[in-house]
Amino acid sequence: MQGSTSIANIVFAVSFSPDGRTLASSDNSHTLRLWNVQTGECCKILSDNCRAWSIAWSPDGKILASGSDDRLLRLWDIESGECLKTLPGHTSLIFSVAFSSDGKMLATSSDDKTVKLWDVESGECLKTLQGHAALVWCVRFSVDGRIVVSGSHDRTIKLWDVGSGECVKTLQNDASEVWAIAISPDGKTIASGSANGVINLWKMEAGECVKTMRSPRLYEGMNITGVTGLTDAQKSTLKALGAVETVGLMSPFIYQFALG
């Protein structure tokens, strides 16, 4: 931020406080920073022992949760800057942390393929949710706090019952890994962001994908059928950027590209 202590390292996560006055950030210097949004000044530095990949504020704005690559979940007191709790449990780095709407529970997702539910007051791990076949990039609570939604590298979105810990629904995102999820304010729709640049909207109750959104890609619709001089790797790259291989006229741009 302008006029503030600079972040010279990679920033992994940012999160606004509930009142919008403070921004928390985590970076590669193994610190968490609190910024005054109005002045742009860094008002507090919370010393961590490793990189925090994800941070989240409690609904009352008094606690900041961080999930780090040392496999630990930490709870920080915003007023004092002290670490209130250090919670072990995951066997690999933590990618995502999320508070329930009432602030009583936390969910974490990890490279160890699990989602864990935590009691904020006691620090106890209440449940370990197992079922994903690969690392779990992201996790969110439903608006009413009864469901936890997780997105994984295994190309699925899973809905878990908080009370029982059971997976109640699996949404197949066949095209690509799920890196990000969000839940609409009315709690009826899940948005998922994938590694292939696609955003899907899902109806939570039905588990159906109702809309797919994608920004135009660099070579969207460009026909590369019959082009010579391209390796398989180059063709794959062009297709990932929207090119197609069907019968039709060759694009002059691609023709020029192929000839060098």
User: What domains are there in the chain, each with its CATH number?
Assistant: 11-214 (2.130.10.10), 216-260 (no CATH)
Map 1-53 to HEC letters. CCCCCCCCCCEEEEEECCCCCEEEEEECCCEEEEEECCCCCEEEEEECCCCEE
Specify whether the CB–CB gap between 210 and 171 falls below 8 A.
no
pLDDT digits (tens, 9 = 90+) for 178-189: 999 999 999 999
Specify whether the CB–CB gap between 210 and 167 falls below 8 A.
no
Q: Higher-confidence residue: 221 or 96? A: 96
Label residue 213 exposed, middle or buried (CB < 10 Å: 0-12, 13-18, 19+).
exposed
pTM of the model: 0.81
- What is the 8-class DSSP label of residue 247? S
Q: How confident is the model at residue 248 (pLDDT cuts 50, 70, 90)?
A: very low
- Please determine, for residue 252, whether its predicted confidence score (pLDDT) is greater than 50: no
Map 79-129 to HEC letters. CCCCEEEEECCCCCCEEEEEECCCCCEEEEEECCCEEEEEECCCCCEEEEE
